[in-house]
Amino acid sequence: MAEFDRTRKQVHDEHLARVRALSNEVQGAICALEKNDLSLLEESLARQEILCSEIVSLRAKSTESRLPDVSSAAEIRHAYMALALKNRVCAALLKRSDRTVGLLSGLYRCYGAGLDKKSMDHTWSCEV
């Protein structure tokens, strides 16, 4: 029984650590976007992918073994809530970055439009 409890606690601790690590990684991605640092963003996304697959398997184990106590459940819930908030911020930031990229690509389409007669009446200012 004590062995089972230990395993349960271990699964919970690992699960919690991974969710918190994922939260930190999402924050890292936000910082990378803020600094316009593509390589930092790509590294963070790669780490997020690994953490996500680890969390999926830990969640399955966690469901099988049930949570050790009420406070552990609360810890996990808070960690997921913090992750959800970070995800919301990141999603909103990506949406905003997409607008900037959209405007920039519109600008370059305009510059490249010299060869395309049809594009002549569609200018960057129209997109803006």
Partner 1 sequence: MPGLTSTMLMSVQSLLADQAALQVTSNNIANANTPGYTREVPVLTENTPTVENGITYGAGVTLEKVQSIRDQLLDLRISEETQQQSGAQAQLTALNQVQGLFSDSTQGVGADMTAFFNSLSQLSTNPTSIPQRQAVLTDAQNLATSFNQTSTSLSNIQTSLNLNVSQSVDQINSLTQQIAKLNAQVAQMQQLGQEPGVIQDQETQLVQQLSQLTDVSIIQTKDGQTITTANGSALVVGGQSFALQAAADSTGTEHVFSQGQDITSSIKNGSLGGILQVRDQVLPGVLNQLDTLASQFATAFNTAHESGTDLNGNAGQAFFSSAPGAGAAASFSVVITDPNAIAASSDGSAGSNGNITQMTAVQSQELPSGASPTDSFANIVFNVGNLTQQAQAESDAGTASLNQLNDQWGSVSGVSIDEESTNLITYQRAFEAAARVISTVDELTQTVIGMGASAAG
Residues that bind partner 1 (CB under 8 A): 30, 33-36, 85, 88-93, 95-97, 99-100, 103-104, 107, 125, 128
Residue 53 or 105 with smaller CB distance to partner 1? 105
Tell me 69's DSSP state: S
Output the smallest distance, CB 40 to partner 1, in A: 13
In which residue are the tokens 């002549």 written?
Answer: 120
Residue 6 or 78 with smaller CB distance to partner 1? 78
Output the smallest distance, CB 31 to partner 1, in A: 8
Residue 13 or 34 with smaller CB distance to partner 1? 34
Residues 6+ apart with CB under 8 A from 124: 106, 107, 109, 110
Nearest to 18, CA basis, from 65, 55, 62 = 55
Output the smallest distance, CB 16 to partner 1, in A: 21
Mutual orientation of helices 38-65 and 2-34 as an angle, nearest 10°? Answer: 160
